[in-house]
Amino acid sequence: MTRNRHIDIFFLLLIIEIFTITTLLILNVKEITFTDYVLYMLIFLIIVISFYSNLITGLITSAFLVFGYGSYMLYQSLFYEKSSIGNSYFWIVLFPLSAFISGRLSDSINEIRNKNMKFEKQVKELVTVDEITGFNNIKEFYKDLNEEMSRSKRHKFSLVVMLVEIQYLEELIGIYGTDKINKIFKIISNIIEKVTRTEDKRYKIDEDLFAVIMPNTDIKGAEIVKERLKKKLEDIEVNHGSQTKTYKFDFKIAVLQYNDRITNSFEFKELVQKELEYDI
């Protein structure tokens, strides 16, 4: 039986239970006592506890209530020579039954929720391309950078990483809105792609951070690309229907050449990111 089927069944049972209790109280409105109202409220308490905690907690709670109500019934029969209304055993059965139905409903919903979260995580791990820019993401960046570092070390090729950081992104989103900023991101990615070479590898590794891996490039060649990119990014033109509007943003761009003292891709990226502080 599928988990969705379990949810349907236990939800239906819970509705039937509540409907039955409410109907019986209405039909016997002249015979019910204040105690019956209290017990009715306790049923809802058990349902809430079982649903928002777990089945075991709900059953333990219902066991305490059964013991307490059973003791109250015994006290009534011993000292007042009467027991509660004939519904007494009805309430005793309802306590664990409510806990069981509500707890199983909660377990079924939580299992589906956990499966969905696991599925979403797996999907995110499979996705390697930023949907707005078309550039690879940070997962691919680290993988490719490790490969290029190994190749550079083995064959003594030059290797440079360039980072492009958009300044004050949160403020820009507040001013222009997410849709317009996403359109600008796409234009920025197009500019980066035009300025860099075909063999260079381009990434969007954070909300405000682009990266380019530049194999077979030394720091002098990277500085030329950096200055060319800065000039292209000075004015960003965005088409709004028949109109073209020019935007000016602040960017920081840093380049760093690989050397044997850099042990891994994480360290390399951190070193380049520190260089952004010196780009004025």
**30: Cβ–Cβ under 8 A, 6 or more apart, which residues?**
none
Domain membership flag for residue 132:
no
Domain boundary among 60, 95, 126: 126
Q: Are 193 and 162 in contact (CB under 8 A)?
A: no
Question: CA separation (Å) from 260 to 41, 87, 277?
Answer: 72, 83, 23
Domain of 264, CATH number, reads 3.30.70.270
Residues 143 and 119 in one domain: no
Domain boundary among 126, 158, 192: 126
Q: Are 69 and 35 in contact (CB under 8 A)?
A: no
pLDDT tens readout for residues 25-48: 888 777 777 888 888 899 999 999
Q: Are 251 and 230 in contact (CB under 8 A)?
A: yes
Domain membership flag for residue 131:
no
Q: Tell me the helix, strand and coil percentages in the chain, rounded to 5.
A: 65, 15, 20
Q: What's the structural domain count of the chain?
A: 2
The residues facing 134 across adjacent strands are: none
Residues 116 and 174 in one domain: no
Of the given ranges (30-44, 99-113, 202-216, 263-277), which has the lowest mean pLDDT? Answer: 30-44
**Residue bearing tokens 């949810």:** 7
pLDDT at 85 over 50: no
pLDDT tens readout for residues 18-28: 998 888 888 87
Instruction: Count CA atoms closer than 13 A to 88's CA, side-chain side.
Output: 15
Residues 143 and 266 in one domain: yes
Residues 274 and 142 in one domain: yes
Domain membership flag for residue 133:
no
3-class DSSP state of 247: strand
Residues 118 and 196 in one domain: no
**Residue bearing tokens 């806990």:** 99
Domain membership flag for residue 38:
yes
Residues 144 and 92 in one domain: no
pTM score above 0.85: no
> What distance lies between CA 271 and its chain's CA centroid?
29
Domain membership flag for residue 260:
yes
Residue 124: predicted pLDDT? 64
Domain membership flag for residue 22:
yes
Token pair recorded at residue 158: 């030059």
Residue 81 has what DSSP assignment?
S
Structural domain boundaries, residue 157: 138-278
Residue 42 CA to residue 50 CA, distance in Å, equals 12
Q: Mean pLDDT of all residues in the chain?
A: 87
Domain boundary among 104, 126, 148: 126
